[in-house]
Amino acid sequence: MQGKSVVVTGAARGIGNAIAHVLAGKGARVALIDKDAAALDAAVGVLSNQGCEAYPVAAELGPRAACHDAFRQAAQALGRVDALVNNAGVYIRTPMEEIEDPEWDLIFDICLRAVFHLSVAAVEHMRGHGAGRIVNIASVDGFVAFPQMAHYAAAKAGVISLTRTMGLAYAPEGILVNGVAPGAVETGPMQQNDYMKNLAPRIPMKRGGKPEEIAEAVAFLASDANTYMAGETMIVSGGLVIA
């Protein structure tokens, strides 16, 4: 990733922040997009103090105009974008019969609609350079039925399908679109109500993943080392999906 310029969404904390740190540690210049301006500035400050080149873009993702504007700001800060990582998401557990339209719309706006609009913006930019990488963060919930989070699972299944479609559409142009589907990862939402503690025994590796482990998979797909993957989603779950 040395010398590459990467945009990471949902990068103020959690997996997105780990992705930004891992990519910056490998020599990339990074633009971090997040709706939490204070957390975003803190995250960029940490990277800057480590000698990394990082830029903040505060934005509420979802609608087309907001996504294209956020990407434009990131591209202006970096000068050029070699890779986009669509990580921003909303993780809400609600019993299926209790899901209301506003919550359904929120999940789909952030987890799927924003992925589409940001990717379109990235493709328009990357065409000018003749190559690029887009990495979409999906979830094992897009592969495995998950009644406690039907809206989230459906949105992530949509991300997997969109990744396949965009991978097919843009591979001939040298723009490789792929995804990473994390399993249970040690982040704040997964720690609530002992969820990770109860889930870990079902995982063949007997533990949750670390955000940095997801970030390393992203780093490969976002780099020039990825020369022959397009439209594919890499599952990183400690074996959870085969248990």
Return the CATH number at 229: 3.40.50.720
pLDDT confidence bin for 7, thresholds 50/70/90? very high
Model pLDDT, residue 243: 79
Average pLDDT over residues 33-58: 97
Chain mean position to CA 173: 22
HSE, CB side, 13 Å, CA atoms: give it for residue 232.
12
27 closest CA partner among 87, 82, 76, 77: 82
* Distance in angstroms (rounded) separating the CA atoms of residues 184 and 201: 12
Task: Give the pairing type, strands 83-86 and 54-58.
Answer: unpaired
The 10s digit of each residue's pLDDT in 165-217 is 999 999 999 999 999 999 999 887 777 767 788 888 999 999 999 999 999 99
Average pLDDT over residues 66-83: 98
Residues 6+ positions from 217 with CB-CB distance below 8 Å: 180, 234, 236
pLDDT at 141 over 90: yes
pLDDT at 36 over 70: yes
Average pLDDT over residues 73-99: 96
83: β partners: 6, 133
Model pLDDT, residue 193: 66
* Continuous H helices in 86-210: 101-108, 114-126, 150-170, 188-191, 195-199
Mean pLDDT of the chain: 95
Q: Give catalytic residues, as residue numbers.
A: 152
User: Residue 147's domain spans which residues?
Assistant: 5-242
User: Which has more confidence, 223 or 194?
Assistant: 223
pLDDT at 103 over 70: yes
* Distance in angstroms (rounded) separating the CA atoms of residues 136 and 160: 8
100: helix, strand or coil = coil
HSE, CB side, 13 Å, CA atoms: give it for residue 55.
20
155: helix, strand or coil = helix
HSE, CB side, 13 Å, CA atoms: give it for residue 160.
19
* Distance in angstroms (rounded) separating the CA atoms of residues 23 and 15: 12
28: helix, strand or coil = coil
Name residue, tokens 């990467």.
6
Chain mean position to CA 108: 14
Our count of domains for the chain comes to 1
30 closest CA partner among 110, 87, 113: 87
158: β partners: none
Cα(first)–Cα(last) distance of the chain, in Å? 34
